[in-house]
Every structure is written in C-alpha cells, then in structure tokens.
Structure 1
Amino acid sequence: MCPGCLNRAQCLRTQLLQLAVPLVKSYGFTREALAQSALRLPTPHEKPLTEAAITALFGEGDDARRTLIGGWLEHARVETRKSLLADATPGAPPPSMRAVLEKRLRVNEEVLPLLPEAFALLASPTYGLPPLDPIPGLKHVSQVADDACYLVRDTSVGPAWFRRRATVAVAYGAAELHQLTSPNTAYKFLDDALSMTQKVDSAADDIGQYGRYIMKSWTGIIRSSGVLP
C-alpha cells in the first residue's frame, strides 16, 4: 500500500472510531457499533461497514471490540480534561485530586453497565496464557493518574513523581472497581481510597505490590462481569 493510501486508511479509521464512540450507548462495545459509524460520516455510506471492512480497519473478531474500548477510554480521558479545563477560572488554584478523579468516574456513568464486560475483554489475552493480562489495566489506571497529576499541577520529581502516580492509580483503580458493583457509594469509596493511599504512600515504592494490587482488582472485574468464572 502506498504511503498516501495508508494515510487515508488511517484517517478513515480514526474518524470512524471517533464516530463509533457515541454509538456505544446504543450498541455496546461491539463490531456493530463500528459498522454503524459509517452511516455518521460527513458523507454517509449507504450501508453499515461490512464484516470484512471492520476486520481490515479494526482487527479480527474481538480485536475490533478492543480497539473500540480503547477509543472510548481515550474519549473519557479527553472529556475529563475538557470539562475540568472549561470549569477553571483564570488565576484560580487547580482542582483537587478528589475533584479530578470524581469527574473521571462520572464519565463512566453513561456506559457503566457495559464496562465490566469491556474490562474483562481487555484483560483477556488474545493468545495463550496467562488467563488474565494485567497490562491493559495498568495502562488504563496509569493514564488516568498521569492526567490527574497534570490537572492538579503536581510538581513531584524523581522517585516522588512515580510514587505519586502509583498511589493515585491505586486509589482510582479501587474506586472504579467499586463503581462497577456499587455505583451509589463509589464517590464515598473514592474518598476512603484517597485517604488510605495518602496514609500508606510508602507502600507504592514496591512496584511488585502495586502490580499485584491492580491484577487482583482486574480479576475482580472479570469475575463480577460473569464473562469468566
């Protein structure tokens, strides 16, 4: 494929993925949501994307669904930043960490019933063992933590920089897991999680312990979804 054709295909893929994100509320994290996105183009297609087109653009089988989940998570990051920056008053102090993480949890609410299965799919490796892959979970909560630290204008450097993001990621990951099963108490739980991680900040120095915590959380997500026993 020539560079020009490749760029056009990448642009189309990006555009369709962005158009598919709002369709998740109606179609879920499915290949059908990706198919229907073609009808929302500025010059709409006459028909939804074919299965062959979805595979060519987004991947085979569940890989296309994983691509859509990743697109939604990026959308959630952007929406959180936009909302907080829009609310900011020039010269005012930055928002609190609690306010930032609460805002991110609220973005989940529009598709909350769909997230357990989506997270379960992300944590299920495409090929082989182990049965659960913690990398998507680590990446997700780490990105949320990095965004949050930027928004609160965290000035940590050196080891403190990593420790701060690790503790925020642990607090957010725990609150998000709680939100999936008990949404009405998620924000109180967030307060407790932030308080706990601040008190035991030094525990985040042990990266192995951090990784095991996230792995345990994602195991809980998968089991609560009913996708895996």
Structure 2
Amino acid sequence: MPPGGKKTRKTPLPPKVKKPPDLTPHLKFKYKPKEIKTYLDRYVIKQDEAKKALAIAICDHYNHINNEQTEIEKHYIKQNVLIIGPTGVGKTYLIKTIADLIGVPFVKGDATKYTETGYVGGDVEDLVRKLVKKADGNVELAEYGIVFLDEIDKIASSTGVGNRDVAGRGVQSNLLKLLEETEVPVNTPWDLPSQLQHFMGGKSKSNKETINTRNILFIMSGVFDGLIEIVQ
C-alpha cells in the first residue's frame, strides 16, 4: 500500500488490436512494377512497353487482392488485360515468367478452340479447371492464377440470321461471366479421371467443389486487323 494509505486503481490494459484476417494465405505478393520489369529484363530483350504495361497490371491486380479486407476494395471492379499485337512476339513467355515469379499457376488457351457450353468442343470454363491441375489440386491457389487467352479477336460473331454461332457470341457470353465473377465446378461429368477419384474417395488438397473467378487475372490478346488504322 502506498504512503497515505490510499489504494491505487489499476487501469486495465487496452485489448489487443486484432490483426485483420489474412484473406490471401496462398499468395504473398510484395512486388512493385519496377521490380517486375527489372526481373523481366533478365529474360526478355526489348519489348519495354509491353513489360511495363504488364508489370503495372500485375501489381494493380494483386495489390487489390491484398487490400481486399477494406470496404472500398470490396466494391472494386477487377481490371483484366487486353494486349493488341501480332503472334510470335513472346507474349506467352512474358506472362508465364511473371506467374513463375509470383508463384501462381498459369494456363494458356486459344480462343478459336472453344465453343459454347453444351456443344462439341472445348468450354472456356476448362481453362479455369486447368489452373487447379497446374496448382496440383490446390483450388485456393488456383483462384489467384493467371489465364492467357490468345486470338480473342477471332471469336467475333460472324453468323447469319437463323444460324447458331457456337464459337462466337456464345463463347463471348461464357467468357464474360468468368471475367467478372462466377463459380466454376471443379469436376464435370465428362472429366472421368476426376469423377473416378471422387467416387473412390481420393484425397485432394481442397474440399471445395467450385472455383471462384473473382481473383483470377485474365489476359487476352489478338491482332485486331485494321483497329490501329481506325484509332489513328
């Protein structure tokens, strides 16, 4: 007891401030555009504008994911990427190199190989399912992957009246759903290996049955013949 016989009141310690939950345990993105550009310079010569643009787009996308716990970020509309240019200039290698750097799965597809869901041919949702395979069955990691779709300009609708454009407008419609946000089934009835694994009790790295596309970055490219002349 202190001099004077008066008791001192102990002020309770303030409660510990809880750290916001880590919404991205499978992705620790910590890069700046300049760092990504410098890294790409080690593997790809020239194409400075393409490297700068991709570096900025990648940082913008994944930094928004890291900050998604704020109310403002929850209403953020994802910005995907469109690259205009000829084939065979190393776009695929650039994007794959970035994916390897930040540790996310990467898949590439040719837009002309896909048809509307329910028709013979590939389904654009297959691209998302391929991310899971690239992530070795880790659905959570696949939800932060990168999808590169080439020749996107070739799926413009070209059908006449009364004909079904299963490789044009139908694909565009399905693709738009993926670009915004949707749930894609991990397994499909025609994916026999996955179905057999499911019925035989095979283990996977995730119990999730669907893949959310909100945080998947879609990068599309095409030649778009005549577009530059129109813009100029």
Between structure 1 and structure 2, the one with the greater Rg is 2
Q: TM-score, normalised to structure 2's length?
A: 0.28
Give me the TM-score of the superposition, normalised by structure 1. Answer: 0.28
RCO greater where, 1 or 2, for CA within 8 Å and sep 6 or more?
2
- Greater strand content: 2
Query: Which structure has greater helix proportion?
Result: 1
